[in-house]
Structure 1
Amino acid sequence: MRVTTASRAARIVRVIGAVLLIAAISAVAVRAGFWQWGRHEARAEAIALYEANAQADPVPLAAAVPPGAAVGDAEWTTVSVSGMFDSDSLTLLRNRPIDRERVYQVLVWFDTEDGRSLLLNAGYVPVPGPDEDLALADLPTGEVEVTAVLRVAEPDDGRRDDGATRVTPLQMPPPSLEPIDGYAMVREACFDGTCVDSFGGQVPLPTLSLGPHLAYAWQWFALALFAPAAGIVIARRGSRGDTDDAPRTAARASRRSGPTDEEIEDAL
């Protein structure tokens, strides 16, 4: 009888442990599902902003980003602005490939007519071979009318020089005027009666997609629903195990209470 009670208690403990574990798994799955759902919604909002701003006609920079403001929700807005290139600030972003091609992206400060400095991604040039010269176009020295697409500032990853990967003011010499929080990708620059789409190759706008976050969210929610069902099945099997083991335990106990083979031989 003591064996049966101990076995049942052990099974109850195992069932309770399994149920608690499955409840924890379900809670984690729900949390992960909502996290993926939030990432999906953030992507959807970013794409909606991209489509709304990118399809609009160019607006003056000061209208999109007033003095003292950051690019923020004006990201992807096409703006027009007049000013002059700070040629001494020209910097090559050396570890930012385009379509898997190794290139140098051209970064430069642009001093705007309203007294601010805007960081421009002005184009890209191929990485020269061992016996080749860098094919870098000269920047105009006079007044320039630039049309560009605004981008929010990229977080700095601490890499510099040949390892640099981010478009950030920290890669650049200090600007001569108050910097705008963000940067812009040149779409056209007009000067001396000539217009070019960039200084080198034009850096393409990124392709935005929703990604797999919605599918991941549904997978996590499905796991959260499946886990309690699995817990019920485990609990029922444990309960049936107690009932099924009772007769077998009693029979084993009964057999152990009878005489052993040695006792029967002694009696004979």
Structure 2
Amino acid sequence: MRRLILPLTFGILGTAILLSLGSWQVRRLAWKENVLAQIDRQIAAEPVALPVELDPDADKFLAVTVQGLITQDEVHVLASTRDTGAIYRVIAAFETTDGRRVLLDRGWVYPPSKDAQRPMVQTTVQGNLHWPQEVDSYTPENDTNANIWFSRHVPTLAKALDTEEILVVARSTTEKDPQVTPLPVASSGIPNDHLQYAVTWYGLAAVWVMMTLYYLRRMRKQKKV
């Protein structure tokens, strides 16, 4: 029996650790689902006028209504979706009726329409505020000469289009003949992999138990021989 104590101890400890990691991911899953539900409520809330003072953390996803002019000053951000493939997001400078100039994510166009001339238009936009975190060490440098951008980094876009560091992602507009298809903010784009992680840890715990039992059984057989 003494020979079995060490592997049995490792088996119990390893199983306990793996089960605790799985349970932690289950708790994280519940937390993340609550966060996503809160974001969904905020996205779908009744739109308000654009506040004067904004906090990128507290006001992220705030539903707003803005009235004004969509200018022809725009940048094109290369992106893709599962349903459309390669697209360009059209980010334009938007001049509000109360004299502000902010960024407007109008939506998307296919690559052949990237450089099409889009007229200035007076409209009312309903959408959500957003400060996307799309820049990391793998993000390419923007090709400003070709007007090809690789992220919606708000400070950079604001500098390029001479606007406030505010991005409104359009959900709908009153344009009669919109040339850009809105791509609204949605919580579906926020990763939530905690269920897969939990299943992985629990699966490893089951494997650990089976390996421990197999090893103990093998040791007992060797002792009998």
Same fold (TM over 0.5): yes
Residues 188, 197 of structure 1: 8 Å contact kept: no
Q: Which residues in structure 2 correspond to 1:26-37 (within 5 Å)?
A: 26=15, 28-30=17-19, 32-34=21-23, 36-37=25-26
Is residue 80 from structure 1 mapped to residue 61 from structure 2 by the alignment?
A: no
What TM-score results when the alignment is normalised by the length of structure 1? 0.60
The corresponding residue for 2:170 is: 186
Amino acid at match of 2:202: F
2:92 pairs with one of 108, 120, 145? 108
1:96 pairs with one of 75, 80, 103? 80
The corresponding residue for 1:202 is: 182
Q: Which residues in structure 2 correspond to 1:215-226 (within 5 Å)?
A: 216-221=197-202, 223-224=204-205
Q: List gaps (5 residues or longer) in structure 2.
A: none
Structure ID, larger Rg: 1
Amino acid at match of 1:172: L
What TM-score results when the alignment is normalised by the length of structure 2? 0.69
1:145 pairs with one of 107, 124, 127? 124
Q: Which residues in structure 2 correspond to 1:164-179 (within 5 Å)?
A: 164-169=149-154, 172=157, 174=159, 176-179=162-165
Identity of aligned residues (%): 21
Cα shift at 1:52: 1.5
Cα shift at 1:122: 0.8
Counterparts of 1:164 and 1:36, CA distance in 2: 36
Cα shift at 1:147: 1.6
The corresponding residue for 1:135 is: 116
Cα separation, partners in 2 of 1:133 and 1:19, compared to 1, 3 Å:
closer
Is residue 238 from structure 1 mapped to residue 222 from structure 2 by the alignment?
A: no
Residues 136, 200 of structure 1: 8 Å contact kept: no
* 1:2-34 Cα distance to aligned partner (Å, 9 max, x none): xxxxxx99xx3x862x44653564355235424
Per the alignment, in what secondary structure is the counterpart of residue 96 of structure 1?
Answer: strand
Residues 65, 126 of structure 2: 8 Å contact kept: yes
Counterparts of 2:117 and 2:34, CA distance in 1: 37
Counterparts of 1:133 and 1:218, CA distance in 2: 43
Cα separation, partners in 2 of 1:166 and 1:196, compared to 1, 3 Å:
farther
Cα shift at 1:219: 5.0
Cα shift at 1:48: 0.8
Residues 115, 177 of structure 1: 8 Å contact kept: no
Amino acid at match of 1:96: S
Cα separation, partners in 2 of 1:228 and 1:144, compared to 1, 3 Å:
same
Q: How many residues align?
A: 217
Q: Which residues in structure 2 correspond to 1:115-126 (within 5 Å)?
A: 117-126=101-110
RMSD: 4.0
Cα shift at 1:107: 0.8
Counterparts of 1:82 and 1:24, CA distance in 2: 62
Amino acid at match of 1:208: S
